[in-house]
Amino acid sequence: LKSALEKAYPDDNWDLVVEPVTKPKNFWKDSQNRKAYFAEIEKRLNIREVHEWYSHSYSSVVSIIPDSKYFFSLYGDSLIRLLKEQHPSVTWVPSLFTRSPLNTWKSKEEVRSYLEYIADKLGVTKQEDWYRISRQQIIENRGKGMLSVHGNLGNALIFSFPEISWDARQFSLRQKRAQQRWLLSLVSLMFPENTKIIENHLHPSLNW
């Protein structure tokens, strides 16, 4: 197999990708060797941006590169554990992967990570903004599993940010105007930081 691949793709390093198990003792303890092998995997999967990893899982990778199974065993067969080592500057959100790890939503660290991602995506800049995030917005951003485990956004926030004093009643308000708040956050990005933007202003000259 190795010979055939070398003939078909002479510019690729098939020593690492095809024969990870036959390496000398302590080979994989060297972080540079692990980094080189990981780079070859990304090349074989044609991954150019780190966010493209979200469309993969442990199973999908080993189905494409069978011999990577041994390499994954060094990380307990965990894709996210591998990615955290190889891309430490990235804040990985488990729920965004094709297959979320088991018990993701029972981990305070993982729920907190997801909510920080939501805050960035939906323009949440202060505590009051959370009270206006709708259930549908969470579902649309792959948070359905979190809602299933914790019941609602309020419970998830209380669970993951216990140091903050939350007003549980605010989460049950019906008129959240969630989309309006999100649109306001987008509009505010178009103007200088100190620009005052009035959310519910009815101009006297408008007839509708």
The span from the CA of 55 to the CA of 67, in Å, is 20
**Residue 157: other Cβ atoms inside 10 A:** 22
pLDDT score, position 159: 95
Phi, psi of 76 (to 5 degrees): 65, 30
The span from the CA of 109 to the CA of 115, in Å, is 10
In three-state secondary structure terms, 102 is coil
pLDDT score, position 84: 92
User: What's the rounded mean pLDDT across residues 186-194?
Assistant: 60
Give pLDDT tens digits for 98-151: 776 667 888 898 899 899 999 988 888 889 889 888 889 899 888 888 999 999
pLDDT score, position 1: 45
Q: Residue 61's closest CA among 87, 39, 42?
A: 42
Residue 80 pLDDT exceeds 90: no
Q: How far apart are the first and last CA of the chain?
A: 72
pLDDT score, position 155: 95
Residue 37 one-letter amino acid:
Y
The span from the CA of 134 to the CA of 17, in Å, is 45
Give pLDDT tens digits for 7-35: 555 665 545 454 555 677 788 889 998 99
Q: Which helix (H) or strand (E) holds 168?
A: helix 168-171
User: What's the rounded mean pLDDT across residues 37-59?
Assistant: 91
User: What's the rounded mean pLDDT across residues 196-200?
Assistant: 61
Q: Assess contact for 118 and 143: CB atoms under 8 A.
A: yes
Query: What token pair was written down for 169?
Result: 């009643």
**Residue 144: other Cβ atoms inside 10 A:** 14
pLDDT score, position 2: 47
Please provide the average confidence, as pLDDT, over all residues in the chain.
80
Residue 45 pLDDT exceeds 90: yes
Residue 66 one-letter amino acid:
P
